[in-house]
């Protein structure tokens, strides 16, 4: 991805280039005049541009219109606080209009660029019976690089949501035929909570905003609205959803290995265990422990011990299938669930995993590498509860260690070397 900075101040352009280069995974190009910018545009495909409005060879509309003509999404960054100018330029299909009136303006612009780049992976569903408003909302959100789908009523919206799992956010009017915006929101909230699927309500009625908010919409915008208000609220909503997702990830992910933690494991497995037992669907649950791990920590230090744990976690992840589960239960112990698998293939898998781990090497220093082994207890028979099955695999793990380590013990079968 490439970003063009059009700025007549050489010093400011350099500062912007350095800051943007540190924050964004983009190639940064600088032009100090419109003529220079045109040359660069002919040579490169730019994902985005930041534009000053006053240059030695061009001003205001000519600059903006050129980049719009070239379909390059642009953020205006200028020192002019002329209200009439800002209003006129903001009506064009630009991403944003930023005043260079404080140091924080650059930080704001960087954050907005990051947001807009991420927007390319989001799809917004727009539900409004007014063709004029549908087109207006679609155009505003498209300038934020959001993908959009438009429908005329709540019934069409529900059909679209059923058929399209890529929709990330709904913007809905209140008054619509067949199914109105309130009933649409109520129906969606029966399946998705506010932190799972965001809804922004729109209406010309103040009372409607209260009704909307009481029934689960994340935000509300009153008609008629400013372009910046809609784009800002949508972007803020997406920011909030991403932050919630990050918090959920932190809460359910082991900090060292980035696999699931014990809490996430139980959350995913309780329902799966119940359904599998009811349908008699075979699966394997294994407890895995690193052999002589305390000796590794005592001899080479906890940093090397952490590397051993991380390498084991990544090796397990690389070998399981997408629906399978790996979780760190604590210390050097992991729990792995292979779904829809019978005992013999499960045993073959864990035997293979054991051999692969034994062949791994950890670099301690320039002169020394170490290896490690694992012991595995695998339960494949159902018990009265998930906890009992885990306890059984724990006992099998203990049997594998007691018989000499670097072994796999599967239910009642003999320990295999």
Please report the pLDDT score of residue 205 as a whole number: 82
DSSP string of 315-360, one letter each residue: HHHHHS-TT-EEEEEETTEEEEEE-S--HHHHHHHHHHHHHHHHT-
Please report the pLDDT score of residue 85 as a whole number: 87
Please report the pLDDT score of residue 412 as a whole number: 58
The rounded distance, in Å, linking the Cα atoms of 66 and 87 is: 19
Can you give the length of the chain in residues? 417
Please report the pLDDT score of residue 413 as a whole number: 58
- CA torsion, ordered 192, 194, 200, 203, to nearest 10 deg: 90
- Which residues are within 8 A (CB) of 87 and not within 5 positions of it... i.e. 6 or more apart? none
Per-residue pLDDT of 188-201, as tens digits, reads 999 999 999 999 99
What global pTM score does this model have? 0.78
The rounded distance, in Å, linking the Cα atoms of 40 and 74 is: 15
Q: How many other CB atoms are found less than 10 A from the CB of residue 246?
A: 10
- Which residues are within 8 A (CB) of 246 and not within 5 positions of it... i.e. 6 or more apart? none
Kindly report the three-state secondary structure assignment for every residue of 33-57. CHHHHHHHHHHCCCCEEEECCECCC
The rounded distance, in Å, linking the Cα atoms of 260 and 248 is: 11
Q: What average pLDDT does the structure give for the chain?
A: 93
The rounded distance, in Å, linking the Cα atoms of 185 and 225 is: 21
Contacts 24+ apart (CB under 8 A), 244-250: 244/195
Please report the pLDDT score of residue 210 as a whole number: 87
Please report the pLDDT score of residue 182 as a whole number: 94
The rounded distance, in Å, linking the Cα atoms of 238 and 409 is: 48
Please report the pLDDT score of residue 417 as a whole number: 40
% residues pLDDT > 70 (the chain): 99
The rounded distance, in Å, linking the Cα atoms of 37 and 4 is: 8
% residues pLDDT > 90 (the chain): 79
The β-bridge relationship of strands 2-6 and 48-51 is parallel
Asked whether the beta carbons of 89 and 95 are under 8 A apart, the reply is no
Would you place residue 319 in the very low, low, confident or very high pLDDT band (cuts 50, 70, 90)? very high
| Mean pLDDT of all residues in 304-327 | 95
| Mean pLDDT of all residues in 78-87 | 85
Per-residue pLDDT of 241-283, as tens digits, reads 999 999 988 999 999 999 999 999 999 999 999 999 999 999 9
Could you give all domains of the chain from N- to C-terminal order, each with its CATH number? 2-114 (3.40.50.2300), 120-251 (3.40.50.2300), 260-410 (3.30.70.270)
Tokens found for residue 60:
């205001």
Per-residue pLDDT of 8-65, as tens digits, reads 889 889 988 998 888 888 999 999 999 999 999 999 999 999 999 989 898 888 999 9
Would you place residue 414 in the very low, low, confident or very high pLDDT band (cuts 50, 70, 90)? very low
Please report the pLDDT score of residue 355 as a whole number: 96
The rounded distance, in Å, linking the Cα atoms of 380 and 285 is: 6
Per-residue pLDDT of 338-347, as tens digits, reads 999 999 999 9
Would you place residue 415 in the very low, low, confident or very high pLDDT band (cuts 50, 70, 90)? very low
Unique residue bearing structure tokens 């359910």: 252
């Amino acid at each position: 991805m490439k970003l063009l900075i059009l700025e007549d101040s050489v010093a400011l352009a350099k500062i912007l280039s350095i800051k943007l280069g540190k924050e964004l995974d983009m190639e940064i190009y600088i032009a100090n005049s419109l003529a220079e910018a045109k040359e660069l545009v002919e040579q490169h495909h730019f994902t985005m541009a930041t534009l000053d409005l006053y240059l030695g060879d061009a001003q205001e509309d000519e600059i903006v219109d050129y980049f719009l003509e070239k379909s390059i999404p642009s953020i205006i960054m200028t020192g002019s606080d002329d209200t009439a100018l800002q209003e006129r330029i903001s009506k064009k299909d630009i991403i944003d209009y930023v005043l260079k009136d404080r140091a924080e303006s650059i930080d704001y612009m960087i954050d907005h660029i990051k947001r807009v780049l991420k927007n390319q992976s989001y799809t917004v569903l727009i539900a409004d019976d007014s063709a004029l408003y549908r087109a207006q909302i679609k155009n505003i959100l498209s300038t934020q690089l959001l993908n959009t789908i438009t429908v005329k009523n709540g019934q069409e919206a529900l059909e679209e949501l059923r058929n399209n799992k890529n929709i990330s956010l709904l913007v809905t009017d209140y008054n619509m035929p067949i199914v109105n915006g309130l009933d649409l929101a109520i129906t969606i909230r029966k399946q998705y909570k506010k932190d799972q699927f965001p809804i922004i309500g729109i209406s010309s009625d103040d009372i409607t905003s209260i009704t909307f908010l009481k029934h689960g919409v994340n935000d509300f915008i009153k008609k008629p609205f400013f372009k910046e208000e809609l784009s800002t609220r949508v972007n803020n909503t997406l920011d909030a959803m991403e932050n919630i997702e990050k918090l959920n990830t932190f809460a359910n992910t082991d900090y060292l290995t980035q696999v699931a933690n014990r809490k996430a494991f139980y959350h995913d497995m309780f329902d799966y265990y119940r359904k599998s037992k009811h349908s008699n669907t075979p699966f394997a649950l294994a407890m895995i422990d690193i052999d002589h791990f305390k000796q590794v920590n005592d001899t080479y230090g906890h940093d090397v011990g952490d590397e051993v744990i991380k390498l084991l976690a990544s090796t397990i992840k690389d070998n399981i299938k997408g629906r399978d589960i790996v979780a760190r239960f604590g210390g050097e112990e992991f729990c792995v669930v292979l779904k829809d698998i019978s005992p013999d293939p499960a045993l073959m898998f864990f035997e293979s995993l054991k051999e692969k781990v034994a062949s791994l090497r950890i670099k301690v220093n320039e002169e020394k590498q170490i290896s490690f082994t694992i012991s595995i207890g695998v339960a494949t028979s159902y018990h009265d509860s998930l906890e009992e099955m885990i306890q059984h695999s724990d006992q099998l793990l203990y049997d594998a260690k007691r018989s000499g380590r670097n072994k796999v013990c599967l239910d009642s079968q003999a320990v295999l070397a």
